[in-house]
Homo-oligomer: A and B are copies of this chain.
Amino acid sequence: MDPDHETLTIGIDLGATSVRVAAYSPPAGLLETSAFLTRISAGPLAIVDDICRNVCRLLEIHGRTRPCAGIGVGSPGPLELPAGRLHAPPNLPGWNNFPLLDELQSRLPHPISLDGDARVAALAEYALGSGKEFAVDSLCMLTLGTGVGSGIILNGRIWHGASGMAAESGHLTIDPEGPPCGCGNAGCLEAYASGTAIAKAAERLFAGGLSPSAHLDPASPLTAANLALAARAGDPHARGVYAAAGRALGIALADLINMLNLPLYVVGGGVAQSWDLLSAPLFAELHRRSYVYRLTTSGGAALQAIPGGTRVMPARLGPEAGLLGACILPLHVPPAVGPEPSGACQASRQSALH
């Protein structure tokens, strides 16, 4: 009998809007998931308590017959590793210097593996999605959501860099004189291709005097999703905003291919559902800006010459990528060297911070 049949892991996908927690076993997949709103105003310790209460419940239900191999967490960044400490995360106000790993580990009875949310999603895409489908050993995944995150898997392992801050692809410079980015810089990928940036680009257009066409319902909020509907219906401004996002993605992907020459680059997250609007300008820039891409792309004239083609495609896994990645993280990486697990489940404790 495959010992995996008995293994349980717990995955935690910590988001700025909601938290998802799941029990997982390799053969069955997600056994049970729960989701709850992130109570930002209550502060990080209250949210950690919410998380641990859910983890303990899942452990009680699913851990009776299965040994738990560990607990995986995907967290927003910037995240210092292996310490597991957050540094002024833009979407989690009040979490600066919060020792997330220590706080979780002091309440939970199994070793915790913690990593960045976009890196954990890339791990899922590698192990369970397109990476598995094409049997590659390395990939890079961009996740286009509120911001733009990414994860780099090299030879089957998440690449962290010297201080756990690698793969900040959202802050690759696309145009030094481009639109402002939340990081304080201008012209970053995130300032073009995140959901937020797509909505803001349309706002700027209309604030500048352009009139939305009949395809944009004036009663609906100006979101990336609504703009995609309008673009598909023919709205030229919405199409232009998506074309600019696609061009920026193409420039960033050309940089990533020129630098790393990985066999597979995938684009996931909510905005990637508009691949139909992004892909033509994206591939046009890739062809222009990466001779590595041109030389290694199947279908090109050089197909026979260079083995190891470069694939660029939408992610196979949908919105569950982050949660699945958290679930499989303990199976792929040893837990960070940190505090001893708590002896038993503790949904809350008197924190060392207080």
Interface string of A254-282 (1 = CB under 8 A from B): 11101111110000000000000000000
Given contacts A78-B291, A302-B87, contact A173 B255 (CB under 8 A): yes
Interface string of A223-266 (1 = CB under 8 A from B): 00000000000000000000000010001001110111111000
Chain B residues near A97: list those with CB within 8 A.
305
Segment at the B interface, from A47-55, A64-72, A156-164, A212-220:
A156-164
Which of B161, B247, B263, B309 contacts A260 (CB under 8 A)? B161
Q: What is the total number of copies of this protein in its complex?
A: 2
How many Å lie between the Cα of A167 and that of B305 in the bound state? 20
Chain B residues near A254: list those with CB within 8 A.
171, 173
Which of A138, A175, A188 is packed against the most chain B CB atoms within 10 Å? A175
Q: Does A348 contact B (CB under 8 A)?
A: no
Interface string of A289-321 (1 = CB under 8 A from B): 111100110000010011111100000000000
Given contacts A291-B183, A305-B97, contact A162 B296 (CB under 8 A): yes
Q: Do B261 and A161 touch (CB < 8 A)?
A: yes
Chain B residues near A256: list those with CB within 8 A.
259
Sorting the interface of chain A by its residue count into under 10, 10 to 19, 20 to 34 or 35 or more gives 35 or more
Chain B residues near A309: list those with CB within 8 A.
162-163
Which chain B residue lies CB-closest to A96?
B305
Q: Do A172 and B259 touch (CB < 8 A)?
A: yes
How many Å lie between the Cα of A136 and that of B183 in the bound state? 28
Q: Do A261 and B163 touch (CB < 8 A)?
A: yes
Given contacts A78-B291, A251-B173, contact A162 B308 (CB under 8 A): yes
Q: Does A165 contact B (CB under 8 A)?
A: yes
Q: How far is the CB of A314 from chain B (nearest CB, A)?
A: 20
Q: How far is the CB of A341 from chain B (nearest CB, A)?
A: 24
Q: Does A154 contact B (CB under 8 A)?
A: yes
Chain B residues near A347: list those with CB within 8 A.
none
Q: Does A9 contact B (CB under 8 A)?
A: no
Chain B residues near A80: list those with CB within 8 A.
305-306
Q: How far is the CB of A278 from chain B (nearest CB, A)?
A: 16
Given contacts A138-B162, A154-B154, A291-B184, contact A258 B168 (CB under 8 A): yes
Known: A152-B259, A171-B290, A184-B288. 16 other contacts (CB 8 A): A78-B291, A83-B307, A87-B295, A87-B306, A162-B309, A163-B296, A163-B308, A167-B259, A168-B259, A168-B292, A169-B259, A171-B289, A171-B291, A173-B254, A176-B247, A185-B288
Q: Which 4 A-B pairs have the closest CB atoms?
A: A161-B261, A163-B308, A162-B308, A166-B261
Q: Which residues of A contact B (CB under 8 A)?
A: 78, 80, 83, 85, 87, 97, 136, 138, 152, 154, 159-169, 171-177, 183-185, 188, 247, 251, 254-256, 258-263, 288-292, 295-296, 302, 305-310
Could you jot down 23 A-B contacts, CB within 8 Å?
A: A80-B305, A85-B305, A159-B260, A160-B261, A161-B261, A161-B308, A162-B296, A162-B308, A163-B307, A164-B261, A165-B295, A165-B296, A166-B260, A167-B259, A169-B259, A171-B254, A173-B255, A173-B289, A175-B177, A183-B291, A185-B288, A255-B255, A259-B259
